[in-house]
């Protein structure tokens, strides 16, 4: 069963059990997946990796919206965005811990022989396939920057 099929099955189950949060969130996620499938010159079937990227992007939107609502003092909307984010997280791979990320970046720096801030692109190119979907790009870049500055 593909990830998209799992989302569709879970949406159906959420609708039957009248779980409004899951229904709303899964509908939004499936809409984003379908929009991605038809984006570009011709439609295509997304792989599970592509679906994970779409879900990660949607989860990031929820985190940012929750922070914005929280800063504006709109706690009810912030809570709703956080709840949707938690539903999406269930379909994403487990996030890397700080220690795991530090080790991956250190290995990439050793493998590429990179030194200094100018080698950041080289290190990022080596690290990104290893962390795909398991760590946010900004978090990876910050760790690479930190280790190259040492």
**Number of other CB atoms surrounding residue 111 within 10 Å:** 11
Instruction: Enter the tokens of residue 21.
Output: 């949060």
Residue 132: CB atoms within 10 Å: 13
Q: What is the pLDDT of residue 106?
A: 86
| HSE value, Cβ hemisphere, 13 Å, CA-based, for 65 | 16
Distance CA 46, CA 54 (A): 10
Q: Is residue 114 predicted with pLDDT exceeding 80?
A: no
pLDDT(87) > 90:
yes
How confident is the model over 3-30, as a mean pLDDT? 94
Stretch 118-129: mean pLDDT: 84
Residue recorded with tokens 């949406």:
11
pLDDT at 129 over 90: no
């Amino acid at each position: 069963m593909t990830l998209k099929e799992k989302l569709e099955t879970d949406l159906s189950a959420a609708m039957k059990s009248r779980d409004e949060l899951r229904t709303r969130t899964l509908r939004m996620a499936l809409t984003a997946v379908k929009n991605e499938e038809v984006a570009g010159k011709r439609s295509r079937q997304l792989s599970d990796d592509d679906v994970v990227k779409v879900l990660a992007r949607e989860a990031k939107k929820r985190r940012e919206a929750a922070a914005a609502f929280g800063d504006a003092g709109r706690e009810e909307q912030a809570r709703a965005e956080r709840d949707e984010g938690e539903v999406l997280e269930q379909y994403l791979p487990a996030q890397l811990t700080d220690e795991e990320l530090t080790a991956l970046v250190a290995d990439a720096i050793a493998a590429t022989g990179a030194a200094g801030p100018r080698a950041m692109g080289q290190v990022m190119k080596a690290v990104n396939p290893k962390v795909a979907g398991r760590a946010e790009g900004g978090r990876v870049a910050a760790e690479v920057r930190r280790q190259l500055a040492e």
